[in-house]
Structure 1
Amino acid sequence: MKILLLSPPQQNIYGRFGPPYAPLGLLHIGACLRAAVHDVEFLDMALYPGEFRARLKSFRPEMVCITSVTPTFPSALEIARVVKSESSAHVVFGGPHVSILPEEPLKTGKVDFVVVGEGEETIVELAQAIRGGDPCQVNGLCMRSNGETFLTGRRRPVEKLDSLPFPDWTLVRHIGAYAPPEAHSRRVFTIMTSRGCPFDCSFCVSSKLFGKKIRRRSVQNVLAEMVSLVRNQEAAEIHFADDCFTSNKKWVLDFCDAVKREKLRINLSFMNGLRADEVDEEVLAALKNAGVRTVGFGVETGNKSLMEKSGKRLSLDAVEKAFEISRKMGLNTWGFFIIGFPKETREQALATFALARRLDPDFAKFFPLVPYPGSEVFEEMEDAGLLGCHDWASYGLYSGYVPTLSQMSSTEVADLVRTFYKKFYLRPRKFFLRLLRVRSVVELWLNLRMALFLGRRFAGRGVSHTV
């Protein structure tokens, strides 16, 4: 079967800068479909938006699989409309947004199937069923039949992650087109070593997508993927996409030892950050010796009460300790902060910024709280009547959409985010210290690119969206 994998445009998220990473989920799906002897092509419309119709015409797929996060969902629907009007292909949706709201795309009549949750096994079985079987017998689908929408049956998460093939990076045309801001090179690849998260952060849906149980690949399996990327794809840098990379200390230390023995000489980083209370001097030293140059920590707030209410359950003492050890070891650091928690006051928001200044990471990101579907915050705001009609395209972290249950107005939250960025970065000492730590022309270019992106997003007027 000819199958086209599509990632929607993301201009409403990243503007003209494009996405930082290739869509790892689709590359996993592509690998599984190719292992099942299907003819698979991939198009990232964030990079090549003008090629879609030509590819649809020339490749003539029998199935088109489209992934989407919340802010790309409207674009995904428009793609589905074109597919249905210009081809006879079956349209399949997957990804975080539709896994939480699987009935929504089916109501349009432009989508045939929605893959709910992890899709590697489901999509292979669906392709087989479309060719000669009954899709109703495939677990993990949402679909319509006789005018009714229904779930076919629950698909259990993949328990043995080692059984899955590695993501197929040969589907990606040009890896250098992706540019994560913390990278030190242009050949950056991503790996996920585990799935699942035991925490209940009110602003996150990870545990609902992957479950609370952490399922972890073996050290040997992860190392084999890394070796393959270095030898076959000339990887210079690998960023890990786990939510809980350091949750198992023994695994982390064994992994670091294995990487050292292999002598890969590759830069390592963590695209989602680490939990500050799951690292110590031994862990950070091992990570550095294995090739880690940058660590990030999701701090979220500088207020103990808000930290507890958010479900993050993170000690501020542990946060300060993690940054202190990282700095002592010469690691680059990132800090991630959220403004606009339910019942948050202006004084509490200012305390978060004061903590950011005190921690003084090399890079800090300040985000207004975005109520993603499936999160506790989303339910609270929905019940409070704050969300109205859902303009999903405005739900990006940089889109300026700021409904709020805090004790600040939406405009005030957005203004504080802008102010925090300016006050954090527009310090001569900060600027020159950052320049001194740059180790390559690529790193300098990516840092400047990030600065320009943030400047355009937050420096001017018209960023905030008052609800």
Structure 2
Amino acid sequence: MRVLLVEPPKKPWEMMGDFIAPPLGLAQLAAMLEINGVDVQIIDCNASRLTWSDLEQAISQAQPTLVGASAMTTFFPTALRVMEIAKRINEDIVTVVGGPHVTFMVEETLRNHPKIDIVGRGEGEHVILDLVRCLESEGDLAQVRGIAFRRDGEVIRTPLPEPVEVDELPLPAYHLLPMSAYFFTVFQKFCTILASRGCPYKCTFCAERGFWGPGWRPRDPAMVGDELELLHRRYGRESIWFGDDCFNVDGEHMGQICEEILRRDLRLDWYYQGRADLLVKHKEYLPLMRRAGNLMAQIGIEAASDEELQGLRKNLTIEQVKEAVSLLRQHGMVCQGMIIIGTRQDDAHSIMRKVDFLKWLDIDFPVFTIYTPFPGTKTYDEAQEKGWLETDDYALYDMSYPIMPTEHLSREQVMGLYNRCFASFYTDPVMMFRGLASSMPWKREIWRYMLAFAARLYLRRYWKLLKDLFRW
């Protein structure tokens, strides 16, 4: 049996700049199949610069038995297009889509999209292997845990398997990827890695807990060290993004990873996504983290008041955010803050107050995101129930476009304020000077990129105004 896993051509997320990350999930699935003797190949269209036409030719040449793809909500349309291409080439190809979106939208996916044969639900390593074995033996799909499929006009869901033991998984099949092609804006020779799975928190806007299951599962720090060493020594990776939902849940685990980096003399710059309150809780590890190469932390600030944070079930206070930003500055680390605009209670004043709050915090660089109701979240369930959703174009579910209005603003007004937030912060003379005059070269480079991004937002805004003005 020949399995082809596809990372389809994607429009880049403008906010992230030039950015191509390895499809870590597909590489993990491929590794599980490969060590069990399955013929598997990965096509990463973005890294290999393949067009849709190129992809169709590649699938035709590969002659796969099964074509698989994984998708978050915003990339579901591209995953669907892959399956349509595969079926056009050969109707007998088994088409499988996994990932967060289809996990939570099983019925809609299978009833509305006949070119998708099977949905993989939740973690996929054991699911994909069991599915391949079932197909090889012409067994009963109903015996494969963690999938959904059509039978006699009905959608059949099988029970989910037990959570994966993360330390029993093989390292991702990086050798099946064009590793030299991955980079992230100013961080060349870039790669992503996971040191854990899951998140113990229950933020209303996040679907990760529903996808990975409750709780947090850390990997053995020595195994994380093995993977980092492989990436650095064999593939020349110098910049690492820990893509964990929350990297800093456990200070001791984090410290042990740092010790592995230092013990192996890995000259890496690395960055992570974590919580402000946990950064404060584990502040004694910050000097060790800095010595081990940690340059930046991305923290979820999300709001400008304790009341807003409570509404998001963030379990965080503004005082903790302030202390976290201060600690990062004291230890020579850069703070990237994520903040949400366009919540149901937001008006123009409350949104711009968030910009003022970030300036007052003296954060290094913020990323503004629009409140997006992802399937699998309490936000989505409420928005659907109350009729707030104004588009089902999943390509727009990327946190850069409004999906629903607020109680005070239309979607168009939210979009205008989103552009204004970036422009207001990144063209502020004081913030600009601090960024461009920083002693950190890569921080200066990021600021140059963000200035260009703010300029593009302005140009896009005024180009639209001109088109509207001269429209006949």
Q: TM-score, normalised by structure 1?
A: 0.91
Change (3 A) 1:451 1:20: farther
- 2:469 — aligned with what? none
1:410 Cα deviation after fit? 2.2
> Residue 409 of structure 2 aligns to a residue in which SS?
coil
User: Over residues 10-50 of structure 1, what are the superposed CA-to-partner deviations in whole Å (9 max), with x where a residue is unaligned?
Assistant: 21744996644222111111111111122222122334224
> Residue 460 of structure 2 aligns to a residue in which SS?
coil
- One-letter identity of the residue aligned with 1:156: E
Change (3 A) 1:14 1:102: farther
Distance in structure 2 (CA, Å) of the matches to 1:389 and 1:123: 32
User: Over residues 212-257 of structure 1, what are the superposed CA-to-partner deviations in whole Å (9 max), with x where a residue is unaligned?
Assistant: 2111111111111111111221111211011121111121222222
User: Over residues 55-81 of structure 1, what are the superposed CA-to-partner deviations in whole Å (9 max), with x where a residue is unaligned?
Assistant: 111111111001111111122212211
- 1:8 — aligned with what? 8
Distance in structure 1 (CA, Å) of the matches to 2:317 and 2:81: 44
Change (3 A) 1:449 1:7: farther
Aligned runs of 1:434-445 on 2, under 5 Å?
A: 434-437=435-438
The CA RMSD measured in Å over matched residues stands at 2.3
Q: Is 1:193 aligned with 2:204? A: no
> Residue 389 of structure 2 aligns to a residue in which SS?
coil
Change (3 A) 1:15 1:241: closer
- 2:411 — aligned with what? 410
Change (3 A) 1:15 1:130: farther
Distance in structure 1 (CA, Å) of the matches to 2:81 and 2:315: 40
Unaligned runs of 5+ in 2: 466-472
> Residue 383 of structure 1 aligns to a residue in which SS?
helix
Distance in structure 1 (CA, Å) of the matches to 2:67 and 2:444: 39
Q: Is 1:329 aligned with 2:331? A: yes
> Residue 166 of structure 1 aligns to a residue in which SS?
coil
- 1:90 — aligned with what? 94
- 1:118 — aligned with what? 123
Change (3 A) 1:346 1:389: closer
- 1:278 — aligned with what? 278
After superposing the two structures, state which structure 1 stretch, 424-433 or 140-149, moved more: 424-433
1:5 Cα deviation after fit? 0.8
Distance in structure 2 (CA, Å) of the matches to 1:200 and 1:162: 25
Distance in structure 1 (CA, Å) of the matches to 2:237 and 2:438: 23
- One-letter identity of the residue aligned with 1:279: L
1:169 Cα deviation after fit? 1.3
- 1:302 — aligned with what? 304
Tell me if structure 1 keeps the 8 A contact 2:75–2:395: yes
- 1:109 — aligned with what? 114
- 1:216 — aligned with what? 218
Change (3 A) 1:20 1:57: closer
> Residue 65 of structure 1 aligns to a residue in which SS?
strand
- 1:141 — aligned with what? 147
Tell me if structure 1 keeps the 8 A contact 2:180–2:235: no
Distance in structure 1 (CA, Å) of the matches to 2:290 and 2:197: 23
Distance in structure 1 (CA, Å) of the matches to 2:143 and 2:183: 41
Distance in structure 2 (CA, Å) of the matches to 1:279 and 1:324: 11
1:86 Cα deviation after fit? 0.8
1:458 Cα deviation after fit? 6.0
Change (3 A) 1:312 1:162: same
- 1:156 — aligned with what? 162
Q: TM-score, normalised by structure 2?
A: 0.90
- One-letter identity of the residue aligned with 1:172: L
Change (3 A) 1:149 1:402: closer
- 1:58 — aligned with what? 61
- 2:81 — aligned with what? 78
- One-letter identity of the residue aligned with 1:104: E
> Residue 460 of structure 1 aligns to a residue in which SS?
helix
User: Over residues 409-467 of structure 1, what are the superposed CA-to-partner deviations in whole Å (9 max), with x where a residue is unaligned?
Assistant: 32332222111111111134433433344756x87666545544454356522889xxx
Distance in structure 1 (CA, Å) of the matches to 2:3 and 2:458: 40
Change (3 A) 1:335 1:388: closer
Change (3 A) 1:15 1:53: farther
User: Over residues 303-348 of structure 1, what are the superposed CA-to-partner deviations in whole Å (9 max), with x where a residue is unaligned?
Assistant: 2111001011111111011111111111122111100122234333
- 1:69 — aligned with what? 72
After superposing the two structures, state which structure 1 stretch, 98-107 or 217-226, moved more: 98-107
Distance in structure 2 (CA, Å) of the matches to 1:207 and 1:16: 24
- 2:256 — aligned with what? 254
Distance in structure 2 (CA, Å) of the matches to 1:331 and 1:300: 20
1:288 Cα deviation after fit? 0.7
Distance in structure 2 (CA, Å) of the matches to 1:450 and 1:128: 48
Distance in structure 2 (CA, Å) of the matches to 1:463 and 1:115: 41
- 1:22 — aligned with what? 22
- One-letter identity of the residue aligned with 1:242: D
Distance in structure 2 (CA, Å) of the matches to 1:432 and 1:447: 10
Q: Is 1:289 aligned with 2:294? A: no
Tell me if structure 1 keeps the 8 A contact 2:205–2:379: yes
> Residue 297 of structure 1 aligns to a residue in which SS?
strand
Distance in structure 2 (CA, Å) of the matches to 1:406 and 1:283: 43
Distance in structure 1 (CA, Å) of the matches to 2:89 and 2:74: 25
Change (3 A) 1:349 1:16: closer
Paired residue total: 456
After superposing the two structures, state which structure 1 stretch, 146-155 or 299-308, moved more: 146-155
Change (3 A) 1:180 1:457: farther
